[in-house]
Structure 1
Amino acid sequence: MKAYTLVMTLLIFATSTFANVAVIVHPSNSNTVDAAAITKIFTGKAKSFGDGSKAVPLSQKSSSATTTEFNKKALKKSSSQLKAYWSKLVFTGKGTPPKELSNDADVIKMVSTNPNTIGFVSAGSADGSVKVVHTY
């Protein structure tokens, strides 16, 4: 029984430590933004939120650990796969990648001032100026 309790405790702890990327929107955004919508917005397959308002995705530098985690967990792609994906869309004129910002603070600042933006940050970085809609 003690072993079972220990295993369950470790499992809960491990699960919580892996949920380290938060997807954020402006606090006034009342749309339901689930994992499927996030994937569509960040791959350019959707250009708007559920209510029809424009969705502007914001990313971070491709070299950041937060971006690597987001790409892996939310988009199910490595950084190189995503780069190839966007290169093809840009070349054919069918899309443009999300705007890249430098860090969590820049994403939070941009999202908190523009209701049409959606971005991702390290889960611990999100503050009261933005609304977390999903955590990975």
Structure 2
Amino acid sequence: MKRYPLLLALLILSLSTPASLRAELVAVAHPSAKITQLSRSDLINIFMGRYRKLPSGVAALPVDLGPLRERFYRQLVNKDLAEINSYWARLVFSGQASPPLQIAEEAEMLAYLRRNPGAIGFIDRANVPEDMVVVLAFPDRPPQ
């Protein structure tokens, strides 16, 4: 009998977790990018400005989706947004690279991916449309 309140509390907490924290993140690209998968290392290098081209040779255009951005970078490189913003400030100031385009809405990001062959973004797996290719799925926990 004593376990029921604990189980109920855990159930309530799991239901109250925002959907953006429960979503399984995946990196997606339009088929025109001519890639079917990326390694985690390739994705890190693309989103951290080290690679300017996709493995297919198409210019890389990484896109950050605002609502999932913090979780994406935590899972990708185990850094919070303050660390990511600081990293990009240094690169921009030195003229070495430009940060990924930031887009606030999922539909807007998908439209951008469709219009730009080298664009790559991240989204909740449940929302991946049929015309997009999942190039990498993320584990629920960041790397240790």
Smaller-chain TM-score bracket: 0.7 to 0.9
Mapped partners of 2:105, 2:56: distance in 1: 29
Mapped partners of 1:105, 1:47: distance in 2: 25
- Which residue is 1:52 aligned to? 57
- Which residue is 2:5 aligned to? none
Residues paired across the two proteins, number = 117
CA contact (8 A) 1:25 1:117 kept: yes
- Which residue is 2:30 aligned to? 26
CA contact (8 A) 2:52 2:60 kept: yes
CA contact (8 A) 2:33 2:56 kept: no
Structure 2 residue 39 is matched with structure 1 residue 37: no
**Superposed counterparts of 1:54-69, under 5 Å:** 54-61=59-66, 64=67, 66-69=68-71
- Which residue is 1:77 aligned to? 79
Structure 1 runs, 4 residues or longer, greater than 4 Å off: none
Structure number, greater radius of gyration: 2
Shift of 1:88: 0.5
Task: Provide the aligned C-alpha RMSD in A.
Answer: 1.7
Q: TM (normalized to structure 2)?
A: 0.75
Which consecutive unaligned segments of at least 5 residues does structure 2 have?
Answer: 1-20, 139-144
Mapped partners of 1:70, 1:123: distance in 2: 13
What is the percent sequence identity of the aligned residues? 24
Which consecutive unaligned segments of at least 5 residues does structure 1 have?
Answer: 1-16
Structure 2 residue 98 is matched with structure 1 residue 93: no
Mapped partners of 1:96, 1:30: distance in 2: 23
Shift of 1:76: 2.0
Mapped partners of 2:95, 2:32: distance in 1: 32
Amino acid at match of 2:98: T
Secondary structure in 2 matching 1:28: helix
Secondary structure in 1 matching 2:50: coil
What's the CA shift string for 1:101-129, capped at 9, x where partnerless?
A: 11221111111222110011122111112
